[in-house]
Amino acid sequence: MTVNTLELKEISKSFPGVQALSNVSLIVRPGTVHAICGENGAGKSTLIKIATGAQSADSGLIQICGDRIDHASRRTVQNLGVRAIFQERQIAPDLSVTENVLLDRLPKRFGRVDWKNAKIQAKQRMDALEIILDIDTPVRNLSVAQLQMMEIARAVSLDARLIVMDEPTASLSRHELEPLFRVINKLRDGGVSVLFISHHLDEVFEIADEVTVMRDGVVVSHGEISEFTPASIAELMFGRKVSSSQADRTSQGDLSQPRLVIDKVCSNRLNDVSLSVSAGEIVSVTGGIGAGVSELARMAAGGMLKSSGEILVYDDSHESHAISSRRQALNMGVAYLPADRKRKGLLLERTLSDNIVLGQQAAGSNPILTPRKVTESARAIAPSANIKAANVDVVVGTLSGGNQQKVMIGRWMGVSARVMIFDEPTAGIDIASKFEIYSELRRLADSGVAILICSTDFQEVGQVSDRVIVMRSGNIVGEIEGSKATEGRLLEMEMSK
């Protein structure tokens, strides 16, 4: 009789005021890719943390390869061959890529680390994933996508029976999915199981053999992937049909009155880039990772130096102001929302109110903020940003990804930003929350805000944009109306000579 790689039986877990999981059961079979789908807050992350020993269950049974685990811990489950890649980075930022890939398994010789062998092993692991990284560089110098791939290399490098991947593609471009899926297929062919959590249903249908759908801490359906469609899974996830229609446009900016102008900007990653965004307009810039999309977002917000060209912001009197620093940008009402909101945008251990007033503090619009004023300001802004939370005193780290992003949007609504620049605005956010964010962006544009979205998600930019600009290797290679920006058309433009 075949022994299942992982069995979770009637797992329950509660936190103060929240029933995170209720009698959840899950079976992962040998040599299969098992996907878990559910919106933010459905209990997916809690379930896999219990399965990997990162948290303990209130009740229920865990079995790994037939062995019952009565007191699960990370070390216990790792010794049984379970490896995990969590959304929260598990890295030592001051150590090298080599040290992080082989963390706690560095080869020794005569009681000392055998650095020559360690580098060889790290290079072999990277080559297996087709990752090109300097194995000697400190990992703090890596991009979000590079960190994700390095963690995958670490998990794959160990003799694993089960690899748990929590949103492994959240920071990867379309071009980086192929080597990841190739590795997953090799693992499956070798008898290794993969527990795959993703908000991207197209990825689930491409890679998974079986799927479990969760909602509100319970399993609502499970079976072979062939038994489902993307629409049926989405409906199971949210308990209703999810509309994927393009966000309604009630108005569009006056293109003769630009609010943000980027004129012939050059840097080590950008080549003579020019574009403009008008008040009331949403413009998206897209391309693969390495195209310069994220660099453009930071530069437009004054957070990255340019070698030539100009970045101008126009005030309400249509007078232009040059931007060369983040402080100047803030003074001109330019808001920037980074791709990695957990590391670079939010204070995860602070309250919603503390996070939402950061915009006022950064802009200097409200220099004296008493605790009472902080609470009052947050209570006024939170409903406008459609943030769903019990109150403004909740810790931001406990909110879903969609609500965390709304906190960042609300932060800049509090200072009446003229220009809002988003870098990967819906990374790690579930389907329904994505469309809520898109509607929120459209509402902001309709109120007169100029919005620049920098995203590698071709599906996303077509949903919300008035215009889409395509980049490749630091150059603009095309522009198209948002209503015509299908994924196929954008890919064609990106690949064109």
Q: What is the mean pLDDT of residues 458-487?
A: 90
Q: What is the SS3 assignment for 227?
A: helix
Q: Which residue has the tokens 């990867």?
A: 172
Q: Say how many residues make up the chain.
A: 497
| CATH hierarchy code of domain 258-495 | 3.40.50.300
**Closest to 41 measured CA to CA, from 215, 255, 169:** 215
Cα(173)–Cα(144) distance, rounded to whole angstroms?
Answer: 11
Amino acid letter, 345: G
- CB atoms < 10 A from the CB of 453, how many? 28
- Is a pLDDT exceeding 70 seen at residue 322? yes
**Closest to 28 measured CA to CA, from 57, 63, 67:** 63
Cα(480)–Cα(490) distance, rounded to whole angstroms?
Answer: 8
- Is a pLDDT exceeding 80 seen at residue 249? no
| CATH hierarchy code of domain 6-238 | 3.40.50.300
- Is a pLDDT exceeding 80 seen at residue 37? yes
CB 322 within 8 A of CB 312: yes
Cα(128)–Cα(131) distance, rounded to whole angstroms?
Answer: 8
The ranges assigned to domains in the chain are 6-238, 258-495
pLDDT at 243: 55
pLDDT at 414: 77
pLDDT (tens digit per residue) in 50-61:
999 989 999 999
**Closest to 436 measured CA to CA, from 464, 399, 416:** 464
Residue 380 CA, chain-centre distance (Å), reads 28
- Is a pLDDT exceeding 70 seen at residue 99? yes
**Closest to 400 measured CA to CA, from 388, 412, 392, 391:** 388
pLDDT at 262: 95
pLDDT (tens digit per residue) in 357-408:
888 877 765 566 778 888 888 888 888 888 888 889 999 888 877 788 888 8
3-state secondary structure 59-123: EEEEEECCEEECCCCHHHHHHCCEEEECCCCCCCCCCEHHHHHCCCCCCEECCEECHHHHHHHHH
Band of the pLDDT at 62, cuts 50, 70, 90?
A: very high
Cα(385)–Cα(402) distance, rounded to whole angstroms?
Answer: 11
Q: Which stretch, 89-93, 230-234, 332-336, has highest mean pLDDT? A: 332-336
Alpha helices, H only, 225-281 = 230-238
Lowest pLDDT segment from 80-84, 164-168, 193-197, 430-434? 430-434
The H-or-E segment that residue 195 falls in is strand 193-197
Residue 138 carries which DSSP code? B
**Closest to 228 measured CA to CA, from 214, 241, 212:** 212
Number of H helices, E strands in the chain: 18, 22
Band of the pLDDT at 261, cuts 50, 70, 90?
A: very high
pLDDT at 316: 86
Greater pLDDT, 366 or 491: 491
Whether the full predicted model's pTM is greater than 0.75, yes or no, is no
Cα(66)–Cα(83) distance, rounded to whole angstroms?
Answer: 17
Cα(370)–Cα(368) distance, rounded to whole angstroms?
Answer: 6
- Is a pLDDT exceeding 90 seen at residue 226? yes
Q: What mean pLDDT value characterizes the chain?
A: 86
Cα(458)–Cα(486) distance, rounded to whole angstroms?
Answer: 8
pLDDT at 473: 87
- Is a pLDDT exceeding 80 seen at residue 250? no
Cα(481)–Cα(249) distance, rounded to whole angstroms?
Answer: 13
What six digits make up the tokens of 140? 């703090």
- Is a pLDDT exceeding 90 seen at residue 224? yes
Q: What is the mean pLDDT of residues 108-132?
A: 85
All residues at 6 or more sequence positions from 403 whose CB lies less than 8 Å from its CB, including other chains = 40, 387, 388, 389, 433
Work out the angle at residue 421's Cα, subtended by the Cα atoms of residues 415 and 423, and round it to the nearest 5 degrees. Answer: 130
Rounded percentage of the chain residues whose pLDDT exceeds 90: 35
Band of the pLDDT at 18, cuts 50, 70, 90?
A: confident
Q: What is the mean pLDDT of residues 157-179?
A: 76
Q: What is the mean pLDDT of residues 133-145?
A: 84
pLDDT (tens digit per residue) in 410-435:
888 877 889 999 998 887 777 777 88
